[in-house]
Amino acid sequence: MPLDREARINGDWDGGIPDGRIFENFTKDLISDLKPPATYRDKNGVEQPRQFVWSIGIDHGHDVSSQVAILVAVDITDQSRPLVYCVDEYVASGAGADVHAKGIIAMLRRNDLEIAHVHRWTGDRAHGGSNNGGRMSNQMLTSAFAHVLGYPRDKLPFRIRTAYKPKYSVYYGTRVLHELMSDSRFQIFPSCKGLIKSLTMWTMKKSGYMDPNSPYKHAVDALRYATMPIVDVQYRTPKQSKVFINK
C-alpha cells in the first residue's frame, strides 16, 4: 500500500507514509452493477455453478452516518483467488436497535435475499454512545432482530459474531482490500454510495496514524468485518509492525 511502500521496497526506516489516499487503486472501473456470473466452465468444458458466500459486516456508531452495515457476496469458487462483490449498504445515525434491524432486513429484501441466505454476520465491539444516547452492540441488535422477525431471542437462526480486532488488524485488513482492488478482484455496486465515498476519500496522515474520528472510517470498518473472515479464513495479523495505526 502507499503507506508502507517505501519501507518495504526501499528499506526506508521512516516508513515513507504519504498524506494521501490509502486505496489508490480504487477506481471508477471497479464500480459496476453488473451481476457476477452464476456459472463457470471447468477444465473439461463442463458448466459448473459458482460458489458464493453472503456476508454482512456491521460497524456501530452514534454520529451522523456512523452506523453502517455492508452486504457482500464473495465468490470462493477458487479459494486461492476470492472475488469480492460489495452489493449494498445500510447507513444510519444513532437510533434504536429495532430501527437498525429493520433497515438491514430491508437491505436484504431489496436484493431478493432473506436472513437464511446470509452465511456470516460480523459486528463491531459494543459502542458506548454519548451523553445523548446512541449505545449499540451485537447483543442489542440480536435482540432487535429476534423481536422484528418474531423469534424468541434464543431461537434466532443466526448470530452476530464479534469482529476479530487484534493489534494491527486495521492495517492488515486494509492491505488485503488493497490487494483485491489492485488485482481487479473487487467490485462495488453503485448503490453503495457511502462506501464508494469512503474508499475514495479515506487518507492517512503523515504521522502514520489514522484519524479514529474520520467520517470515512465506519464504512471501511464494516467492509473489513464482512470480508476478512471469508477471504482469509486463517486470518492472523502480524505480531510486529513499524506502521502505527490506531485500531
Question: For the chain, which domains are there?
Answer: 2-30+40-231 (3.30.420.280)
Query: pLDDT at position 168, please?
Result: 82
Which pTM value belongs to this model?
Answer: 0.87
Query: pLDDT at position 13, please?
Result: 53
User: Taking a C-beta distance cutoff of 8 angstroms, is the pair 159, 233 a contact?
Assistant: no
Query: pLDDT at position 19, please?
Result: 57
Q: Can you list the residues of the chain whose pLDDT is less than 70?
A: 2-7, 10-19, 131-133, 206-212, 233-247
Query: pLDDT at position 89, please?
Result: 98
Render pLDDT for 26-80 as a digit per residue (tens, 0 to 9).
999 999 999 999 999 999 999 999 999 999 999 999 888 999 999 999 999 999 9
Query: pLDDT at position 214, please?
Result: 83
User: Taking a C-beta distance cutoff of 8 angstroms, is the pair 218, 197 a contact?
Assistant: no
Query: pLDDT at position 128, please?
Result: 85
Query: pLDDT at position 247, please?
Result: 40
On the 0-12 / 13-18 / 19+ scale of CB atoms within 10 A, 118 is middle
Angle (nearest 5°) at CA 110 between 48 and 33: 60
Q: Can you read off the three cell numbers belonging to residue 83?
A: 472475488
User: Taking a C-beta distance cutoff of 8 angstroms, is the pair 58, 141 a contact?
Assistant: yes
Q: Can you read off the three cell numbers belonging to residue 67?
A: 452506523
Q: Can you read off the three cell numbers belonging to residue 217?
A: 472510517
